[in-house]
Every structure is written in structure tokens, then in C-alpha cells.
């Protein structure tokens, strides 16, 4: 079995009208055994930039800690927060540096860029970027149930969703997606990022 | 104090890492001499924060300046003021920032203030003993907070020596500043009193006849809403304090 599927995870990000949302499941498992139901898989870099990491938990933590280092240095030198687009290139570079001994993670980035323009990004474990076309498919997915998540998003997403509608849509897509995957689930965490605030909610679905 | 350099010293002062017959390291002393011409920096520890106040030497209207050339943030809980060669300071500050992040990467908590200073001072000391390179021509005032010792103020110099202080000054006329601080400093000052004292001290030690907000930079390291913060006081705030202390320069007020 693949190392990327050993623990299980579901990460999803979507774009709305002047807002973005990022959501993940909360399961921390080891194959069939569930060890915790409150694991954090989405990390805040700053108020308008979040990154979700699927895959191996130890690499999720370590990669995030290395990102904190790089983003802190960036902020000290440039005296401003890093923009999501620049951050996504940083993530790609850092992953490719380990091309022949990679971090077993697949990141999903959601943020608000210049003029609070929604930004989405995902990549594979060695940094190959994917920036979706916001007009036709403003969503990115990662984890052990990407097929299910793609299916849910393809049918439920539409452009220009308001923050509350975006929350409903991303939540239903996440729940519907990870409910058909035994390795992910046990609740969800959703962050909706607007220009003036971030709304964080926890979802309770089928707790299995 | 003027150092009278004896002819014989010439042979010992071009080698950066050699002692003189009197047991002195001339290059280190010459570095300190460079610093004694730099704009003054004052640091004062108070019970709810630390204030760093500096004299800006370069105040040309043509200067397109957004960042400070004397005050730098090193980490969320640590900042420093510089006296000396700015280019040298930039190298050390970048090194300090990396050292702080490396510690956080390993221990997932902010670097204790003294540990960071020891790190930098060890680097400075290396330049007085190995490699044949000149020492860094910078002295720092470091202001920080950690959970072990709370608010701390340190001073470091080109020799790599450092000390912890309640209040101190470096740069031009620092002796005058230090003597005022010795008389006026009180142990349980709060931050706003410390800011006022810092400005009073700067006023007495600066060469310029009048004090305006453009010539000064004041920063504080303190807790705001239980979050540690390095904050630069705005020109308006500085003006207000100057006014309160009756030091403000009248700006063409209507008669």
C-alpha cells in the first residue's frame, strides 16, 4: 500500500466571490485504526493565506515548520506578508529540492492575493503546480479521496458564491467526498477567508 | 577619551588578531572608535516593556526611506538598535534572524533572548581571534522578552562582549546619556515613563539644538493584548510626547 494512503486525509479548497475557503477532515489514522479525531491538517501562514497538507503526518508537521521559518524570514526582510502566488512558488521549490527523497505530502493553498483576489493552488509531492481556471473550476483537492471530492465539486461548485454559500458548498462537497473513503472523515474543519476576517467552523457528520 | 597611539603600536594594529605588547587588541579598539561617532541609541527597561530610542543621523529630504537604518526586528519577541557601520550591522542582523528561526525550527518556541545574543557575540568574537579579517564595526542594544526572564535589555560590542542592563546608551555622547540615566532611572517605571526618560536623555545628548520627531526613532517591545509586539512609535505619537515634555519645536504656529 502507498505511503501517501497510510494515514488518510481529505483536503479541499474552493473560490467564491472575493473569498476563498479551505477544508479538511479531522481523522488521524494508521491504516484501519483511528488514533485521533481532532488532527489539524490546515495551517495558517498569515491572515490571508492558508495551506492544507495531506499525506504523512510527520511530513505535514515538519514541512509546515520549515515553511514557518521561510515565511518569517521573508516577512522580516520584505517588511510585508508573502503573497499567495509567491508562496506557492516557494512551496514548489522546497518540494522539488527533495526530488529524489520527497516529503510525502500534497499541498493545497488558499488565499487572497493582490486586491484580495482569490487564489488557489495545489501540487503533487514533488512540486508540480496546478493553478485552476477560476471561471470553470475554482476548486482544488488533495488526499486519499480525490476522485470523490472532484466528483462532488464538479457537480456542486459554481462561480461567485458568497461566503455563506461557499461555506455550505465546500462543507457538503467535503462530507460527501470523505464519507465514501474509509481512511478519511471523523469530522471536518472549514476556514472561510474573507478580506476582513476568517470564519472557522467544525463539521460533524458521520463519525466513522 | 583620546587614545594616544604610540609609534610602536603601528606594528601590532594592522594584524587584527594579534595582541599589542600592552595586551590590547587595537583593531577592536579602532572598531569601537568608529562606533563612537555613530548616532546615539538609548535603551531603557521598564516593568511592562523596553524602549529603544535612536538619533537618526541621515535626515535628508531627498532620502527615499521606508525602512529604518538603526532599528531592526529580529523576531516577534526581539528587536535591536544599531550604532556603527550599517553594512556590518546588516550582516549580523540577518545572521541573528536566521539563528532565531533555526532555534524555533528545532524547539518550536521563541529563542531565549540571552541565547541569541551569545550566538551573535560568539560570531563577533571569532573575528577577533581567527581568519585575519577585521572585526564588525557595530555595537547593538538588544531588547527582548522570553518566558524565563521576562523583559531584558542587552548591549554588545565588536569584541563580542555583552552585558545585561536596566538602562544604557551607545554611540556618540553615550557617556553623557549614561550619567543622566544613572541619576534618573527608577526601578519600577512603566513604559510611558521610560519613553519620556528616553526622549529627555536624547535631548541632552544630541548635538542638534532642537528636537523634532524626524530626527528620532522610538520603538518599544511590549505586550499588547497578551501578544508580544515590536512597535515603532508614529511621528504623531513622538510629537505628542515632545509637546508634553515641552521640547517640541514650534512649527510656524499662527501668532
Which residues of chain A does B116 touch, with a Cβ-Cβ cutoff of 8 Å?
Answer: none
Query: Which residues lie closer than 8 Å to B1 by C-beta, 6 or more apart?
Result: none
Q: How far apart are CA A95 and CA A98, in angstroms?
A: 6
pLDDT band at residue B52, thresholds of 50, 70 and 90?
Answer: very high
Judged by DSSP in three states, B13 sits in helix
Mean pLDDT (whole number) for B174-179: 96
Q: How far apart are CA B177 and CA B185, in angstroms?
A: 11
Beta carbons of B80 and B74 less than 8 angstroms apart:
yes
CA nearest to A121, candidates A52, A201, A71: A52
pLDDT digits (tens, 9 = 90+) for B198-239: 999 999 998 777 788 888 999 999 988 778 889 999 989 999
Question: What is the nearest CA distance from B154 to chain A, expressed in angstroms?
Answer: 21
Q: Assess whether pLDDT exceeds 90 at residue B163.
A: yes
pLDDT at B34: 92
Across the interface, do A72 and B73 touch by the CB < 8 Å criterion?
Answer: no
CA nearest to B42, candidates B67, B70, B78: B70
Q: Assess whether pLDDT exceeds 80 at residue B16.
A: no
Mean pLDDT of chain B: 89
pLDDT digits (tens, 9 = 90+) for A168-183: 999 999 999 999 999 9
Beta carbons of A81 and A48 less than 8 angstroms apart:
yes
Percent of chain B topping pLDDT 90? 69
pLDDT at B58: 76
Exposure b/e, A97-132, CB count within 10 A at least 16 = b: eeeeebbbbbbbbbbbbeebebbbbbbbbebeeeeb
pLDDT at B252: 41
**The three cell numbers locating residue A97:** 529540492
Across the interface, do A76 and B104 touch by the CB < 8 Å criterion?
Answer: no
**The three cell numbers locating residue B233:** 512609535
Q: How far apart are CA B160 and CA B29, in angstroms?
A: 12
Q: In sequence order, what are the beta bridge partners of B146?
A: B150
Q: CA A72 from chain center: how many Å?
A: 21
pLDDT at A33: 96
Mean pLDDT (whole number) for B66-80: 92
- Residue A96 contacts B where some CB pair is shorter than 8 Å: no
- Residue B104 contacts A where some CB pair is shorter than 8 Å: yes
Mean pLDDT (whole number) for B108-123: 97
Across the interface, do A79 and B97 touch by the CB < 8 Å criterion?
Answer: no
Rg (C-alpha) for chain A, rounded Å, is 16
pLDDT at B130: 86
Mean pLDDT (whole number) for B184-191: 94
Which residues of chain A does B66 touch, with a Cβ-Cβ cutoff of 8 Å?
Answer: 79
pLDDT at B6: 52
Mean pLDDT of chain A: 97
pLDDT at B18: 85
Query: Who wins on pLDDT, A13 or B249?
Result: A13
pLDDT band at residue B255, thresholds of 50, 70 and 90?
Answer: very low
Q: How far apart are CA A10 and CA A27, in angstroms?
A: 9
Query: Who wins on pLDDT, A153 or B129?
Result: A153
pLDDT at B11: 64
Across the interface, do A72 and B101 touch by the CB < 8 Å criterion?
Answer: yes
Q: Cell 486525509 belongs to which residue? A: A9
CA nearest to A184, candidates A140, A139, A148, A138: A148
Q: Which helix (H) or strand (E) holds A172?
A: helix A163-178
Across the interface, do A76 and B98 touch by the CB < 8 Å criterion?
Answer: no
Handedness of CA A71, A73, A76, A79 (dihedral sign): negative
pLDDT band at residue B31, thresholds of 50, 70 and 90?
Answer: very high
Q: In sequence order, what are the beta bridge partners of A108?
A: A52, A122
Query: Which residues lie closer than 8 Å to B90 by C-beta, 6 or more apart?
Result: none
pLDDT digits (tens, 9 = 90+) for A4-62: 999 999 999 999 999 999 999 999 999 999 999 999 999 999 999 999 999 999 999 99
Query: Which residues lie closer than 8 Å to A111 by C-beta, 6 or more apart?
Result: A20, A48, A49, A50, A83, A84, A87, A119, A193
Q: In sequence order, what are the beta bridge partners of A111?
A: A49, A119
pLDDT at B64: 81
Amino acid at each position: 500500500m502507498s505511503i501517501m494512503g497510510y494515514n488518510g486525509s481529505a483536503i479541499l479548497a474552493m473560490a467564491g466571490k472575493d473569498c476563498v475557503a479551505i477544508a479538511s477532515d479531522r481523522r488521524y489514522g494508521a491504516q484501519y485504526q483511528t488514533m485521533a479525531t481532532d488532527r489539524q491538517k490546515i495551517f495558517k501562514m498569515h491572515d490571508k493565506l492558508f495551506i492544507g497538507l495531506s499525506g504523512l503526518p510527520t511530513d505535514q508537521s515538519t514541512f509546515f515548520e520549515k515553511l514557518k521559518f521561510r515565511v518569517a524570514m521573508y516577512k522580516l526582510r520584505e517588511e510585508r506578508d508573502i503573497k499567495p502566488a509567491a508562496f506557492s512558488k516557494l512551496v514548489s521549490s522546497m518540494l522539488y529540492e527533495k526530488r529524489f527523497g520527497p516529503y510525502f505530502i500534497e499541498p493545497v493553498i488558499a488565499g487572497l492575493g493582490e486586491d484580495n483576489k482569490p487564489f488557489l493552488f495545489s501540487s503533487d509531492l514533488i512540486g508540480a503546480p496546478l493553478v485552476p481556471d477560476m471561471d470553470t473550476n475554482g476548486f482544488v483537492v488533495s488526499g486519499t479521496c480525490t476522485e470523490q471530492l472532484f466528483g462532488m465539486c464538479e457537480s456542486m461548485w459554481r462561480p461567485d458564491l458568497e461566503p455563506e454559500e461557499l461555506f455550505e458548498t465546500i462543507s457538503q462537497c467535503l462530507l460527501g467526498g470523505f464519507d465514501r473513503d474509509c481512511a478519511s472523515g471523523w469530522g471536518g474543519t472549514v476556514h472561510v477567508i474573507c478580506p476582513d476576517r476568517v470564519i472557522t467552523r467544525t463539521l460533524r457528520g458521520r463519525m466513522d | 577619551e583620546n587614545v594616544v597611539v604610540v609609534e610602536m603600536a603601528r606594528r601590532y594594529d594592522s594584524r587584527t588578531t594579534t595582541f599589542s605588547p600592552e595586551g590590547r587588541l587595537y583593531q577592536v579598539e579602532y572598531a569601537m572608535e568608529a562606533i563612537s561617532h555613530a548616532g546615539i541609541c538609548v535603551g531603557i527597561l521598564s516593568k511592562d516593556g523596553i524602549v529603544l530610542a535612536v538619533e537618526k543621523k541621515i535626515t535628508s529630504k531627498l532620502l527615499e526611506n521606508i525602512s529604518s537604518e538603526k532599528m531592526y526586528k529580529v523576531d516577534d519577541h526581539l528587536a535591536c538598535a544599531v550604532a556603527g557601520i550599517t553594512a556590518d550591522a546588516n550582516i549580523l542582523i540577518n545572521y541573528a534572524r536566521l539563528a532565531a528561526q533555526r532555534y524555533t525550527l528545532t524547539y518550536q518556541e521563541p529563542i531565549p533572548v540571552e541565547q541569541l545574543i551569545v550566538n551573535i557575540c560568539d560570531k563577533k568574537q571569532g573575528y577577533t581571534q581567527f581568519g585575519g579579517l577585521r572585526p564588525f564595526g557595530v555595537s547593538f542594544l538588544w531588547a527582548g522578552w522570553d518566558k524565563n526572564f521576562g523583559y531584558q535589555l542587552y548591549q554588545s560590542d565588536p569584541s563580542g562582549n555583552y552585558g545585561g542592563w536596566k538602562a544604557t546608551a551607545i554611540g556618540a555622547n553615550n557617556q553623557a546619556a549614561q550619567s543622566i540615566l544613572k541619576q534618573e532611572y527608577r526601578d519600577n517605571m512603566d513604559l510611558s515613563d521610560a519613553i519620556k526618560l528616553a526622549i529627555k536623555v536624547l535631548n541632552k545628548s544630541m548635538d542638534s539644538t532642537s528636537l523634532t520627531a524626524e530626527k528620532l526613532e522610538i520603538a518599544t517591545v511590549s505586550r499588547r493584548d497578551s501578544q508580544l509586539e515590536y512597535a515603532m512609535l508614529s511621528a504623531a505619537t513622538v510629537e505628542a510626547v515632545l509637546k508634553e515634555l515641552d521640547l517640541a519645536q514650534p512649527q510656524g504656529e499662527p501668532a
